[in-house]
A and B are shown apart, each in its own frame.
Chain A
């Protein structure tokens, strides 16, 4: 992709891609790293296919970059108030929800691709279970089961984090 088109895509979508990376990785420096990697892949491999929604396509690349980064660095996203504060109110729910949302990236990384897609659509993109079913083609029951697995993982992470804090 040429630089003029890349600059235009960045001006239009750079903020949203950075925001999504921050939602998953939580560390500003990691989000910056993932943002650059996302646009570098776009530069190398070209734009979306005809008819694809550009933001959804960029989010898919960005999420891949985030999971690759987590894998490469072996680093878990932190759940620190100071870093959560940069996220907006909408989509974060109560402060405790926000704390648990900080574990989303880690939980997503540890689950299979199908559960990950469903988790992203429901918890980050904000689609209801019915809408997720309609978008993915999975049954409503499968969506429910996968989200339960996702919840289970979040709870495990939440509890292990809580017990870690107690021992400190």
Chain B
């Protein structure tokens, strides 16, 4: 059965709209008629009082100086304005250049090799050539992912996933409770591939590398606790964590 139409915000025949009360609570001017109505209307007056009290409590709990420091940190973590226009161009060019270099090598199934730094992810679709994935690359349910991780030292590796539904799992070694050993200067892709499910939204992949074996459970728990955050982070002693976010759409 279809639900009834959604009613607008309830208000009396002479009451001002919610937005006007909100503006009043912030100290914005209003016509005298509105002010005198609000002063005499228990409903409007109560709402204005509630908004004003909530605003004061909000500022007490999160004072402006603290908020300004948060903004500074946020601004420092974002790209500079002047550089913004060419970042998408660079973003498009780097994977393209990487593909030009890598695709001839990736075409050979077990001879897949990658040159360069730590964590790399490629996707295979319908038997096509593997494609190197950059930050926020688009992937689809059913895509098969393979991973490479290169380190100058031998150690232990876990590749973890946090999906758009907030589920966290181990992608390498797939479904395992502990990390897999990794040889130094390992350029070949790790064995096996992982097929993506249909959970929509951002797909975070985190490669956790450690000189000692790692237990997956506490790291998965930490990831699940951060579901929905702008950027999940993991910390464990002596670990190196590399993160990439993909965007999964049907």
Chain A residues within CB distance 8 Å of chain B: 3, 6-8, 10-16, 18-19, 27, 29-30, 33, 36-37, 39-40, 43-44, 53-56, 59, 73-76, 88, 90-91, 93, 96-97, 100-101, 121-128, 131, 151, 154-155, 158-159
The 5 closest A-B pairs by CB, nearest first: A126-B18, A125-B19, A126-B9, A7-B64, A15-B58
Residues of A within 8 A of B51 (CB): 15-16, 88
A74-B249, A90-B9 as given contacts; A6 in contact with B68, CB under 8 Å: yes
Question: Could you tell me how many residues of chain B have their Cβ less than 8 Å away from some Cβ of chain A?
Answer: 47
Least distance between B45 CB and chain A CB atoms (Å): 12
B174-206 contact mask (Cβ, 8 Å, vs A): 1 or 0: 000000000000000000000000001110000
For this complex, 6 residue pairs linking A to B, each with C-beta atoms less than 8 Å apart, are A8-B64, A39-B67, A43-B75, A93-B9, A126-B8, A128-B17
In the complex, how many angstroms separate the beta carbon of B133 from the nearest chain A beta carbon? 16
Chain A, interface SS category = helix
Tell me the B40-76 residues at the A interface (CB within 8 Å).
43, 47, 50-51, 54-55, 58-59, 62, 64-65, 67-68, 70-71, 74-75
The 8 Å CB contact of B228, one of A7, A27, A125, is: A27
- Using A7-B68, A10-B67 as known contacts, say yes or no to A93 and B7 having CB atoms under 8 A apart: yes
User: How far apart are the CA atoms of A95 and B233 in the complex, in Å?
Assistant: 36
B8 touches A54 (CB 8 A): no
**Which one, B2, B17, B68, B164, contacts A75 given CB within 8 A?**
B164
> Which B1-51 residues have a C-beta within 8 angstroms of A?
2-3, 5-11, 17-19, 22-23, 25-28, 43, 47, 50-51
The reply to whether B67 and A126 form a contact with Cβ atoms under 8 Å apart is: no
Contact in complex: A100, B228 (CB < 8 Å): no
Given A90-B47, A122-B8, CB of A12 within 8 Å of CB of B247: no
Asked if A40 and B59 make an inter-chain contact with CB atoms under 8 angstroms apart, the answer reads no
State whether B26 touches A155 (Cβ < 8 A): no
In the complex, what residue of chain B is closest to A73 when comparing beta carbons? Answer: B202
Which residues of chain A have C-beta atoms less than 8 A from B55's C-beta?
A: 15-16
A106 to B2 alpha-carbon distance, docked (Å)? 19
CB of B8 within 8 A of CB of A18, answer no
Residue in contact with A16 in the complex, picked from B22, B47, B202, CB distance below 8 Å: B22
CB atoms of B10 and A91 under 8 A apart: yes
Within the assembled complex, what's the spacing in Å between the Cα atoms of A33 and B11? 31
Given A39-B71, A90-B18, list of 20 further CB < 8 A pairs? A6-B71, A7-B67, A11-B59, A14-B58, A15-B51, A15-B59, A30-B228, A36-B74, A40-B78, A53-B23, A54-B28, A55-B28, A74-B247, A90-B10, A90-B50, A100-B3, A125-B18, A155-B2, A155-B3, A159-B2
A11, A29, A93 interface centre (most CB from chain B within 10 Å): A11
B248 adjacent to chain A (CB < 8 Å): yes
For residue B230, CB closer than 8 A to chain A, the reply is yes
CB distance from B90 to the nearest CB of A (A): 18
Residues of B close to A19: CB separation below 8 A = 54
